[in-house]
Amino acid sequence: MAQNNFLLLLDDALKHQRIDQALKAIESFKAVDIADILNQLPLDSGRELLLHLPERAYVFSYLEPEKQVQLAKTISWSELAKIIGEMSSDKRADIFKQLDTEQQNALLPALAQAEREDIRQLSQHAEGTAGAIMSSEYATLTAELNTTQAIQMLRLEAPDTETIYIAYVLDSDRKLLGVISLKQLILAPENALVQDLMIKDVIFCRVDTDQDEVAKKIARYDFLALPIVDDSGKMVGIVTYDDAMDVASEEATEDFLKSSAVDASSKLSIKTAPILQLYKKRVFWLVILVFGSLLSSIGIAHFEDIISRNIVLVFFLPLLVGSGGNAGAQSATLMVRALATGDVEAKDWLYLLFRELLVALCLGGTMALAVSILGLYRGDEMVALVLALSMTGIVLLGCIIGMSLPFILNLLKLDPASASAPLVTSICDATGVLVYLYIASQLLSFSV
């Protein structure tokens, strides 16, 4: 309630051109917090506040993409060019790519030549690659400088770079020779040469490397930034750890959506997205899974006779097939995560299958013991035996399906995250019904 009142008062101040009052109200706020406020303000008030902010470029970079595009349409091209010109190169390129062709053509002439060329260079790389998230603002040195000269050079470059804690040593053709940290320069003797101090075995990625791979490499080696080179070996940019964190967050969100059988191809806010868009993101897999569930119905229909003679079987049907689905979903989740982090590879399937069989037998045996007690209570010894054997078989089969499906999708060059919990559950439900009713038909028919 307090936040709503604050937004109403801020909106009123902006509408009545009390700009000083509005700026005073948010003077203690951080840029990311101001961006959150702008996202919630009406478009006209948000534009008015943005144009009067001292760090407007910084705040603009934190806005939601949809809000950035909306504001871009209401700001003059000269003002927008000033804001974008003050932003870091990667953020500048991201915003530029969100604009339509007409808006891009209108904006480019308003930018300085260096910024235009930078945007063109960064915008040409495919989405999802290192080139699409890299920054062209990084510190460079030459190998023949001594430490005093190198520190002086970094002091001059600092205003226009993302980070000066790491500098990249390039030759005259911009080929990457090595990397050196500011700490190394400060601690080294004044007459020491960069070429003697730099790390020559540089870890890097190419512009077409998948951005998920870039994020993993930064996390693995705990880098502040990772150099990016083109096909000729020339350095063209860096990906910083904060951009890598954004990539990791996006990938985790995408995998989470896929694991729930939700289309993750578009980034929509569940709070503001149109109903039709939310419908489209969810309907495909749900319809597919409806037909998948028919397999369970077919299995039940096939064993109608045994069910009609032993109606107690119906009582335990949801319990058994649900347990198989839960076990399968657990296994699938563990395998999808392991594949995503690189903890396991396709070649590990046979080894992991053996381990999963042992775990599944233990799980199934424990659950079989519990359910057999219920079988004795609701039926007799034969019902208890059917339940125990069925539970063991269903859990065993569920774990194998859940573990194997991500590997199969990976071998088919499909996203393992598509081995979603609903998909695994549907398959396990169908197989669970067949296992349960088949065992019941064999044992209970024999007992009669």
- Concatenating the DSSP letter of every residue in 125-188 gives SPTTBHHHH-BS--EEE-TT-BHHHHHHHHHHHGGG-S-SSEEEEE-TT-BEEEEEEHHHHHHS
3-class SS at 230?
A: coil
Cβ(331)–Cβ(403) below 8 Å? yes
Q: What residue ranges of the chain are covered by domains with CATH 1.10.357.20?
A: 275-447
> Which two three-digit tokens encode residue 62?
């934190």
**DSSP run (H or E) holding 240:** strand 235-240
**What pTM, to 2 d.p., does this model score?**
0.63
Cβ(398)–Cβ(321) below 8 Å? no
Burial class (CB in 10 A: 0-12, 13-18, 19+), 278: middle
What angle, 0 to 180 degrees and rounded to 10, lies between the N-to-C axes of helices 2-15 and 31-40? 80
- DSSP lists the bridge partners of residue 235 as 229
Tens of pLDDT, residues 44-91: 888 999 888 988 888 898 888 888 888 888 888 888 888 888 888 878
Torsion sign over Cα 175, 176, 182, 186: negative
* Phi, psi for 110 (deg, rounded to 5): -80, -10
Instruction: Specify the pLDDT at position 187.
Output: 94
Look up residue 299 and give its DSSP letter. Answer: H
Cβ(35)–Cβ(59) below 8 Å? yes
3-class SS at 210?
A: strand
Cβ(47)–Cβ(74) below 8 Å? yes
Map tokens 């949801």 to a residue.
318
Map tokens 């890299």 to a residue.
134
Q: What CATH number does domain 275-447 carry, 3.30.70.260, 1.10.357.20, 3.40.50.720, 1.20.200.10?
A: 1.10.357.20
What angle, 0 to 180 degrees and rounded to 10, lies between the N-to-C axes of helices 421-447 and 275-302? 20
From the CB of residue 305, how many other CB atoms can be counted at a distance below 10 Å?
Answer: 10
Q: What residue ranges of the chain are covered by domains with CATH 1.25.60.10?
A: 2-128
At the topology level, CATH places domain 2-128 in MgtE N-terminal fold (1.25.60)
Pick out the chain residues at pLDDT < 70. 1-2, 251-273, 278, 285, 292, 417-421, 445-448
Q: What is the dihedral of CA 227, 228, 231, 235, to 10 degrees?
A: -60
Burial class (CB in 10 A: 0-12, 13-18, 19+), 27: exposed
The CA distance from 168 to 153, in Å, is 12
166-170 and 225-229 as β-strands: parallel, antiparallel, unpaired? unpaired
Nearest in space to 238 (alpha carbons), one of 218, 213, 212, 210: 218
From the CB of residue 40, how many other CB atoms can be counted at a distance below 10 Å?
Answer: 14
Instruction: Specify the pLDDT at position 333.
Output: 83
Instruction: Specify the pLDDT at position 258.
Output: 58
3-class SS at 397?
A: helix
The CA distance from 405 to 28, in Å, is 52
Instruction: Specify the pLDDT at position 448.
Output: 43
The CA distance from 31 to 59, in Å, is 5
User: Residue length, the chain?
Assistant: 448
Farthest CA pair distance, the chain: 96
Instruction: Specify the pLDDT at position 409.
Output: 81
- DSSP lists the bridge partners of residue 170 as 176
Nearest in space to 434 (alpha carbons), one of 292, 328, 299: 299
User: Has domain 139-258 been given CATH number 1.10.10.10?
Assistant: no
- Strands of 385-445, DSSP E: none
> Which two three-digit tokens encode residue 182?
């500011």
Q: What residue ranges of the chain are covered by domains with CATH 3.10.580.10?
A: 139-258
Instruction: Specify the pLDDT at position 66.
Output: 83
